[in-house]
């Protein structure tokens, strides 16, 4: 297990749809361990594989003292919504009210390939939706209304982490055997 660098806004990997996992092997288990360790070290409520440069549909969460992970998630969202502050480890220091479904049922797999269902409301529902968005190349600022998104983009441009160096595509420490290619 190792803490990995978290990719920041501007890195192209954050805007690509991640590939479905097809191999539930040792490398996938190592990826889940690295995601978990990196998320807890940050600290954050969730972390998706693209945020550490791996284009696979895997994420972890840490909500209300529970650590979990999900591979190849499929979500069913409630019609009832919630508004609340949301941030992202790839956009450090930004928090904006973001509308999400109040309740989610997430179907997918654990790192061993066993089917699992995770149900959650409020913060867990928010985290699962946020991380699944990452797997689709969507950032929470994309869900903001136009005025809030403009303010967020200005805040990003003025941040001390934005634009210091061009986003680099680094080689992942995780082999991409699970991509099905």
Q: What pTM was estimated for this model as a whole?
A: 0.87
Question: What are the pLDDT digits (tens) for 139-157?
Answer: 999 999 999 999 999 999 9
23-65: per-residue pLDDT in tens?
999 999 999 999 999 999 999 999 999 999 999 999 999 999 9
- Residue 133 CB partners (closer than 8 Å, separation 6+): 139, 140, 142, 143
CATH class, domain 12-162, is alpha beta
The candidate with the shortest Cα–Cα distance to 28, out of 177, 132, 180, 181, is: 177
The per-residue pLDDT for range 67-79, each reduced to its tens digit, is 999 999 999 999 9
* Active-site annotation holder among 79, 131, 146, 158: 131
Active site residue 37: no
Q: What is the dihedral of CA 75, 78, 83, 87, to 10 degrees?
A: -10
Angle at alpha carbon of residue 22, lines to 118 and 32, rounded to 5°: 55
């Amino acid at each position: 297990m190792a803490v990995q660098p978290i990719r920041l806004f501007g890195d192209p990997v954050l805007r690509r749809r991640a590939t479905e996992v097809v191999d539930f092997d040792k490398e996938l288990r190592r990826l889940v361990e690295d995601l978990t360790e990196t998320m807890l070290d940050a600290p954050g409520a969730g972390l998706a594989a693209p945020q550490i440069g791996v284009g696979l549909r895997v994420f972890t969460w840490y909500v209300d003292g529970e650590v979990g992970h999900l591979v190849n998630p499929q979500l069913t969202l409630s019609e009832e919504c919630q508004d609340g502050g949301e941030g992202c480890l790839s956009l450090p220091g930004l928090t904006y009210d973001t509308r999400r479904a109040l309740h989610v049922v997430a179907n997918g797999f654990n790192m061993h390939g066993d089917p699992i269902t995770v149900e959650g409301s409020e913060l867990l529902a928010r985290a699962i939706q946020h991380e699944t968005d990452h797997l689709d190349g969507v950032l929470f600022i994309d869900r903001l209304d136009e005025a809030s998104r403009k303010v967020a983009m200005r805040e990003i441009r003025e941040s001390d982490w934005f634009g210091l160096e061009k986003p680099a595509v680094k080689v992942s420490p995780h082999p991409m055997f699970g991509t099905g290619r």
